């Protein structure tokens, strides 16, 4: 979880505002992007989404940074700026780090999408999972060469065949291994953590067939379990966040393992956390701490791409 938090902070404060003005297709890509995180992190993106969806033509880097700072302060800085990479830490500052964090975000999203959507015939892995991230990486990623390779890889392939959640998990895994093979033994490869085809035989013995080739059914099972249960790495899930408002944290604990209506229609979602806070300010929130008390709130009519696409288990 620390790697996701660190990467998200850098994305919000450095990658996105590299563009002085965001408009047209860049603004559309920004509105469609979504990320994983704990409840406070998803509330941050919920509020960003509520703000940016009403921006008609363009937003400047200054406006973006000001809004992020404002919402961070409102929620007690759910993305602290002093986090550092842990599993993604390189042997030198310019190695691994952010690119590893981005891949962790991508794989974590795909694993959770698989867990909840594997039996949903309306889910489309390309449209709902891969394409929004493709557009974001293509338009905002500071590594132009990395963005071009990802973009060209999508253009070269038949993405219409990537349909089910399992297709999405495996497509992203194959793409990551292609990138690893390309980077291996280049100056951008960390000699302390050399690139290899993931997962290694030692990490997942069942992922290899007798001839050494990958068993994709076993790989899928491994990836879903490996990335679908990310931990907090010893960090508090919500620095400065007022958990006491929920009394005993019952709702928060339930919420950390739910997705928004796009993936789980009966989940207690971030929309309701926001609505409940407003009701609380008006003195109307008497029994909302109980998960069963769902009828008092209206479900959001808008599927929010930037709210809580992914709930990460940070127990």
Lowest mean pLDDT segment, chosen from 30-39, 105-114, 209-218, 301-310: 301-310
CATH of domain 1-229: 1.20.120.310
pLDDT tens column, 250-296: 333 333 333 333 333 223 445 555 555 555 544 444 332 232 332 32
205 pLDDT band (50/70/90 cuts)?
A: very high
For the cut 90, the answer to whether the pLDDT of residue 207 exceeds it is yes
> What was the pLDDT predicted at 218?
97
Checking if the pLDDT of 308 tops 70, the result is no
Average pLDDT value for residue range 120-130: 90
Q: Between 28 and 233, whose confidence is greater? A: 28
**pLDDT > 90: percent of the chain:** 18
* Domain boundary assignment for the chain: 1-229
Q: Of the segments 58-72, 121-135, 258-272, which one has the largest average pLDDT value?
A: 58-72
Please report the pLDDT score of residue 297 as a whole number: 26
65, with CB counted inside 10 A (0-12, 13-18, 19+), is middle
Residue of higher predicted confidence among 182 and 201: 201
Specify whether the CB–CB gap between 48 and 1 falls below 8 A.
no
Q: Would the pLDDT of 238 be above 60?
A: no
pLDDT in the model for residue 276: 56
Residues 6+ apart with CB under 8 A from 291: 250, 251, 254, 268
Q: What pLDDT score does 89 carry?
A: 79
For the cut 70, the answer to whether the pLDDT of residue 37 exceeds it is no
Most confidently modeled range among 25-29, 102-106, 260-264: 102-106
Model pTM score: 0.69
């Amino acid at each position: 979880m620390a790697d996701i938090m660190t990467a998200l902070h850098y994305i919000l404060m450095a990658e996105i505002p590299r563009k002085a003005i965001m408009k047209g297709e860049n603004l559309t890509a920004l509105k469609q992007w979504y990320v994983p995180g704990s409840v406070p992190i998803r509330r941050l993106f919920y509020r960003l989404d509520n703000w940016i969806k009403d921006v008609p033509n363009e937003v400047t880097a200054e406006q973006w940074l000001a809004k992020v700072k404002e919402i961070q302060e409102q929620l007690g800085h759910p993305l602290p700026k002093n986090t550092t990479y842990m599993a993604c830490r390189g042997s030198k500052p310019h190695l691994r780090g952010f690119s590893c964090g981005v891949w962790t975000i991508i794989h974590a999203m795909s694993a959770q999408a698989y867990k909840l959507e594997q039996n949903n015939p309306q889910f489309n892995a390309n449209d709902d999972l891969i394409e929004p991230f493709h557009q974001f990486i293509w338009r905002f990623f500071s590594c132009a060469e990395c963005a071009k390779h990802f973009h060209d890889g999508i253009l070269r392939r038949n993405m219409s065949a990537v349909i089910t959640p399992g297709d999405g998990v495996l497509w992203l895994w194959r793409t990551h291994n292609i990138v690893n093979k390309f980077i291996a033994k280049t100056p951008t490869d960390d000699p302390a953590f050399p690139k290899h085809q993931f997962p290694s035989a030692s990490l997942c013995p069942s992922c290899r067939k007798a001839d050494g080739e990958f068993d994709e059914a076993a790989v899928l099972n491994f990836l879903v379990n490996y990335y679908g249960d990310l931990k907090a790495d010893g960090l508090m899930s919500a620095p400065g966040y007022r958990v006491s408002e929920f009394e005993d944290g019952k709702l928060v604990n339930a919420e950390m393992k739910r997705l928004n209506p796009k993936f789980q229609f009966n989940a207690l979602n971030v929309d309701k956390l926001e609505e409940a806070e407003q009701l609380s300010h008006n003195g109307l929130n008497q029994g909302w701490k109980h998960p069963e008390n769902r009828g008092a709130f209206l479900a959001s009519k808008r599927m929010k791409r930037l709210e809580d696409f992914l709930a990460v288990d940070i127990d």
